[in-house]
């Protein structure tokens, strides 16, 4: 089998390196898995697709897992998806059970990660086979559904919709490509911009700017103050971890992992939603939830299994529909494009070896994450003390490499990084939602092609409603997502204190 020739020490070495770097990024508050993938993307230019993907998946899994370290030790989630880990992890650490809390989180994480990899393996090909039958109309409606779901789950729906549409608008800047059936004319720019923007803004400099430089600017504005006001809690001493803490936790593990995977499949819904949902379900349905929030292992189990389950879930829409499940998988789209591969319904069928290697890489990343974190947690915990005055200049430097190398040496891509870094900071300040904006940006050009081709083929707008039962079903899903959003708004208005 050809696949075996790719399973080299280099392949597994890159997964291990990616996982370790990801853990370090995740463990530093303010630095996320998305940032890890964005910053390390240039390293994949030199590797082939399979080795590059191995590194990026390691970074993804490691980045999500590493977020638990500061969540437990300093009460600040390293990544947004570790928010609920602070509820029980920090109280446990305060009473001298920091190492135990982290090891509970590590085991729960590996369970969630492996669970979601299995779902990805069995579910993505089925969804892709189904999506192959889609015409331009259904493909456009899928994008519309994705943007609706993302926007409806934002904290402010109107801003979410606006952000998504703004992302689409930004993606349309440039030439209406002849290869896509366009007329080769430029739009949405002045004549003097044509030299720079003939092909529009490149995806990766935009992503690297928003997720890399923006983070640095947000921290620079705060002056790099120590948000905790105290040092991290020591891991020495305290109660020892034993696996029997998971006795009676199987239902919690499976339920939380299922929630994490499902939330991952929904495009654009972040890991924090997964962990909050899983945590609240455990609180509602467990026999005894009285200790949750005061240092109960079951809280860490639900939080960490759900946020790691997000990894496989978010890859499902990416690999079967070409729609990223979250901000990190949005960057993975860029990595695929870089290697000349288009993700979508045909991806798995046309790249079967790559598909199997991705599953192997995801499984290996989870196992390696467990090995690295379980046995070296005391050393990893020290990472949170690495000063940002050392790290952030290096991050900007790596952002430059990523932006410049993407199109083999275009300086305008580096300026794009700066433009979108500042734009991301402004967006953060005025309440724009980054994830809908990015996903709108990624899907905008495809949405245009599918929309225009549908109209050119049928000449009537009614085709979007009447083309097929699938089209009608997609409209029903769009209506449900909007209705659900409105229901949530009304419920939150009635119970503001509970939600807060």
Pick the stretch among 31-39, 53-61, 418-426, 489-497 that binds other proteins (CB under 8 A): 418-426
**Which position among 10, 126, 132, 188 is part of the footprint of other proteins (CB under 8 A)?**
188
Contact of 15 with 365, CB cutoff 8 Å: yes
Q: Verify binding: residue 229, other proteins, rule CB under 8 A.
A: no
Residue 257 Cα distances to 112, 192, 232, 262, 308, angstroms: 5, 52, 29, 8, 8
Q: Least Å distance between CB 174 and other proteins? A: 10
Q: Least Å distance between CB 465 and other proteins? A: 9
Q: Least Å distance between CB 357 and other proteins? A: 21
Q: What is the footprint of other proteins within residues 34-73 (CB under 8 A)?
A: 42-43, 45-46
Q: Least Å distance between CB 411 and other proteins? A: 5
Beta strand ranges found along 174-287 (DSSP E): 174-175, 186-187
Pick the stretch among 116-124, 161-169, 273-281, 355-363 that binds other proteins (CB under 8 A): 161-169
Rounded to an integer, what is the distance from CA 18 to the centroid of its chain? Answer: 16
Give me 178's structure tokens.
Answer: 């002849």
**Which position among 193, 394, 486, 490 is part of the footprint of other proteins (CB under 8 A)?**
394
Per the rule left: phi > 0, alpha: psi between -120 and 50, beta: everything else, 184 is left
Q: Verify binding: residue 245, other proteins, rule CB under 8 A.
A: no
Q: Least Å distance between CB 159 and other proteins? A: 7
Q: Verify binding: residue 162, other proteins, rule CB under 8 A.
A: yes
Pick the stretch among 1-9, 75-83, 212-220, 296-304 that binds other proteins (CB under 8 A): 212-220
| 481: phi then psi, degrees, rounded to nearest 5 | -65, -40
| 175 SS3 class | strand
Contact of 482 with 144, CB cutoff 8 Å: no
Q: Verify binding: residue 475, other proteins, rule CB under 8 A.
A: no
Contact of 265 with 316, CB cutoff 8 Å: yes
Per the rule left: phi > 0, alpha: psi between -120 and 50, beta: everything else, 234 is beta
Q: Least Å distance between CB 209 and other proteins? A: 11
Contact of 110 with 367, CB cutoff 8 Å: yes
**Which position among 143, 168, 314, 316 is part of the footprint of other proteins (CB under 8 A)?**
168
Using CA atoms, how far apart are residues 179 and 240, in angstroms rounded to an integer?
Answer: 62
Pairing of strands 186-187, 174-175: antiparallel
Using CA atoms, how far apart are residues 20 and 378, in angstroms rounded to an integer?
Answer: 14
Nearer to other proteins, 162 or 262 (CB): 162
Rounded to an integer, what is the distance from CA 347 to the centroid of its chain? Answer: 20
Q: Verify binding: residue 227, other proteins, rule CB under 8 A.
A: no
* b (16+ CB within 10 A) / e for 71-93: bbbbbbbbbbbbbbbbbbbbbbb
| 231 SS3 class | coil
Give the number of other Cβ atoms within 10 Å of residue 224's Cβ. 13
**Which position among 166, 321, 365, 372 is part of the footprint of other proteins (CB under 8 A)?**
166
Using CA atoms, how far apart are residues 20 and 368, in angstroms rounded to an integer?
Answer: 9
Q: Least Å distance between CB 116 and other proteins? A: 32
**Which position among 388, 428, 470, 482 is part of the footprint of other proteins (CB under 8 A)?**
388
Q: Least Å distance between CB 82 and other proteins? A: 25
The 272-311 site mask, x for binding other proteins (CB under 8 A), equals: ----------------------------------------
Instruction: List beta partners, residue 174.
Output: 187
The 422-461 site mask, x for binding other proteins (CB under 8 A), equals: x------x--------------x--xx--xx--xx--xxx
Nearer to other proteins, 121 or 169 (CB): 169
Q: Verify binding: residue 198, other proteins, rule CB under 8 A.
A: no
**CA diameter of the chain:** 73
Q: Verify binding: residue 220, other proteins, rule CB under 8 A.
A: yes
Give the residues lining the site for other proteins (CB under 8 A). 42-43, 45-46, 158-159, 161-162, 165-166, 168-169, 172, 175-176, 182-188, 213, 216-217, 220-224, 388-390, 392-394, 396-398, 400-401, 404-405, 408-409, 411, 414-415, 418, 421-422, 429, 444, 447-448, 451-452, 455-456, 459-462
């Amino acid at each position: 089998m050809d696949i075996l020739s790719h399973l080299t020490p280099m392949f597994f070495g890159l997964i291990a390196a990616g996982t370790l770097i990801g853990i370090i990024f995740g463990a530093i508050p303010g630095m996320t898995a998305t940032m890890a993938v964005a910053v390390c993307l240039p390293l994949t230019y030199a590797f082939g697709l399979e080795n590059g993907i191995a590194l990026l998946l390691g970074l993804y899994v490691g980045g999500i897992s590493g977020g638990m370290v500061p969540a437990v030790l300093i009460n600040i989630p390293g990544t947004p998806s570790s928010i609920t880990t602070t509820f029980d992890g920090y109280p446990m650490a305060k009473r001298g059970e920091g190492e135990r809390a982290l090891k509970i989180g590590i085991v729960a994480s590996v369970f969630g990660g492996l669970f979601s990899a299995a779902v990805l393996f069995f579910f993505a090909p089925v969804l892709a086979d189904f999506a192959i039958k889609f015409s331009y109309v259904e493909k456009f409606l899928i994008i519309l559904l994705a943007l609706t779901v993302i926007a409806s789950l934002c904290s402010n729906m109107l801003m979410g919709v606006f952000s998504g549409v703004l992302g689409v608008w930004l993606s349309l800047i440039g030439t209406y490509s002849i290869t896509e059936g366009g007329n080769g004319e430029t739009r949405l720019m002045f004549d003097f911009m044509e030299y720079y923007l003939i092909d529009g803004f490149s995806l990766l400099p935009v992503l690297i700017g928003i997720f890399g430089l923006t983070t640095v600017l947000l921290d620079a504005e705060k002056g790099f103050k120590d948000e905790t006001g105290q040092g991290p809690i020591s891991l020495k001493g305290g109660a020892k971890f034993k696996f029997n803490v998971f006795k009676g936790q199987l239902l919690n593990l499976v339920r939380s992992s299922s929630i994490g995977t499902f939330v991952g499949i929904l495009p654009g819904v972040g890991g924090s939603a997964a962990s909050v949902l899983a945590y609240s379900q455990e609180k509602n349905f467990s026999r005894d939830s009285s200790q949750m929030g005061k240092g109960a292992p079951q809280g860490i189990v639900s939080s960490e299994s759900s946020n790691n389950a997000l990894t496989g879930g978010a890859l499902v829409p990416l690999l079967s529909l070409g729609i990223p499940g979250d901000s990190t998988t949005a960057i993975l789209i860029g990595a695929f494009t870089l290697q000349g591969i288009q993700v979508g319904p045909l991806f798995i069928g046309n790249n079967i070896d790559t598909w199997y290697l991705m599953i192997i890489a995801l499984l290996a990343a989870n196992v390696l994450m467990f090995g690295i974190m379980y046995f070296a947690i005391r050393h990893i915990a020290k990472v949170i003390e690495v000063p940002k005055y050392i790290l952030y200049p290096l991050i900007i430097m790596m952002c430059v490499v990523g932006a410049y190398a993407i199109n083999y040496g275009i300086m305008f891509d580096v300026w794009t990084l700066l433009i979108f870094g500042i734009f991301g900071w402004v967006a953060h300040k005025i309440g724009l939602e980054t994830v809908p904006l990015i996903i709108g940006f990624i899907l905008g050009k495809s949405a245009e092609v599918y929309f225009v081709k549908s109209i050119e083929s049928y000449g009537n707008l009614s085709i979007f409603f009447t083309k097929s039962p699938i089209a009608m079903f997609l409209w029903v899903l769009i209506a449900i997502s909007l209705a659900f959003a409105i229901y949530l708004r009304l419920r939150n208005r009635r119970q503001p204190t509970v939600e807060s």
